[in-house]
């Protein structure tokens, strides 16, 4: 059994619409003599949130009609032995393609800035872009907000305590861990970096069929769009 009670509860709710309490999951696991699994999380640092506007402009409008209208982003932690590294991704909501990602030993604003600049360059500096994320301190940081302002990008935030407002990014991380990183033991940072690269560039964007995209891959979905609109 690879999953603990909290992840079992999450998957039951998301994949099967089965709503069950953590306590009942524990009791069922005990009755089946399954071990209680938990993963150590990195310590949380205390930050002071800047008192700036954090409006939810996207409002769960996850279906978009063209690329580079709305990007969403999030950060997750990945463990390498007794150390944590942080993965930031930026996803185009139109195709669900991961257009940029960065790994770092620090979950700071610079990680988000570097990931954004890579995406912004790869996509040809798009105009009229909306950038959505949760209210993490990396995204509310003045340094990052100035970057978006200078690039004329409008920023949108999930409501406090509403993870479903950023469900696309949350879902990507769920499958990254379920299909790749939770299945492996990493000796060092290079092992983790190769695993993330292989999953995102070699599998998720290129080979993994996506039900939202009519079982096309993100790359195929974008190629189909550009083939229709460049003629």
DSSP state for residue 196 in the 8-state scheme:
H
pTM: 0.79
> Are 108 and 165 in a shared domain?
yes
What would the pLDDT profile of 10-65 be if each residue is shown by its tens digit? 667 766 677 777 677 767 777 766 544 444 566 555 544 554 678 999 999 999 99
Match 């195709």 to its residue by tokens. 95
Please name the residues in contact with 141: beta carbons below 8 A apart, sequence gap of 6 or more.
50, 109, 112
- For residue 203, is it within any domain? yes
In this predicted model, what pLDDT tens digit does every residue of 54-101 receive, in sequence order? 899 999 999 999 999 999 999 999 999 989 999 999 999 999 999 999
Same domain, 108 and 152: yes
Q: Are residues 23 and 74 in the same domain?
A: no
134 and 78 part of one domain: yes
Among 73, 55, 72, 75, residue whose Cα is nearest residue 64: 72
pLDDT value, residue 17 = 72
Give a yes or no: residue 52 inside a domain.
no
Judgement on whether residues 108 and 186 belong to the same structural domain of the protein: yes
Residue 119 lies in a domain: yes
CATH number reported for the structural domain that contains residue 87 in this entry: 3.30.420.10
In a domain, 201, yes or no: yes
Residue scoring higher pLDDT (44 or 125): 125
Position 51 scores a pLDDT of: 47
Q: Are residues 190 and 90 in the same domain?
A: yes
Q: Mean of the pLDDT values across residues 105-125? A: 97
Same domain, 201 and 123: yes
Domain total in the chain? 2
Residue 85 lies in a domain: yes
Secondary structure (DSSP) of 105-167:
S--SHHHHHHHHHHHHHHTT--SS-EEEE---HHHH-HHHHHHHHHTT-EEEEPPTT-GGGGH
Asked whether residue 101 falls in the same domain as residue 203, the answer is yes
Summarize pLDDT for 171-183 with one digit per residue, the tens.
999 999 999 999 9
CA distances from 75 to 7, 118, 154 (A): 18, 16, 19
* Segments forming the whole domain that contains residue 186: 70-229
83 and 188 co-located in one domain? yes
Mean pLDDT in the chain? 88
Q: Is residue 148 situated within a structural domain?
A: yes
**Residues 107, 23 within the same domain:** no
123 and 184 share one domain: yes
| Statement to judge: residues 24 and 75 lie in one domain | no
What lies within 8 Å, CB to CB, of 106 at 6+ separation is 86
Do the domain assignments include residue 165?
yes
Q: Please report whether residue 61 resides in a domain.
A: no
What does the pLDDT look like over 162-213, one tens digit per residue? 889 999 999 999 999 999 999 999 999 999 999 999 999 999 999 999 999 9
């Amino acid at each position: 059994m690879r999953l603990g009670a909290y992840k079992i509860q999450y998957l039951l709710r998301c994949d099967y619409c089965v709503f069950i309490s953590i306590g009942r999951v524990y009791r069922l696991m005990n009755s089946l003599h399954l071990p209680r699994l938990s993963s150590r999380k990195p310590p949380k640092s205390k930050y002071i949130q800047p008192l700036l506007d954090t409006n939810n402009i996207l409002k769960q409008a996850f279906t978009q009609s063209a690329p580079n209208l709305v990007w969403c982003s999030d950060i997750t932690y990945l463990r390498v032995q007794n150390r944590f590294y942080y993965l930031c991704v930026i996803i185009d909501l139109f195709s669900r393609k991961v257009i940029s990602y960065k790994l770092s030993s620090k979950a700071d604003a610079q990680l988000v800035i570097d990931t954004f600049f890579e995406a912004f360059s790869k996509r040809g500096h798009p105009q009229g872009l909306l950038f959505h994320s949760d209210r993490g301190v990396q995204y509310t940081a003045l340094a990052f907000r100035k970057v978006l302002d200078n690039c004329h990008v409008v920023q949108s935030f999930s409501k406090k305590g509403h993870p479903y407002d950023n469900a696309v990014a949350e879902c990507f991380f769920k499958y990254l861990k379920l299909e790749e990183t939770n299945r492996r033991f990493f000796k060092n940072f290079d092992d983790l970096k190769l695993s993330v690269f292989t999953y995102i560039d070699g599998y998720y964007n290129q080979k993994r069929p996506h039900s939202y995209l009519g079982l096309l891959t993100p790359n195929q979905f974008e190629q189909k769009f550009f083939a229709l609109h460049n003629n």
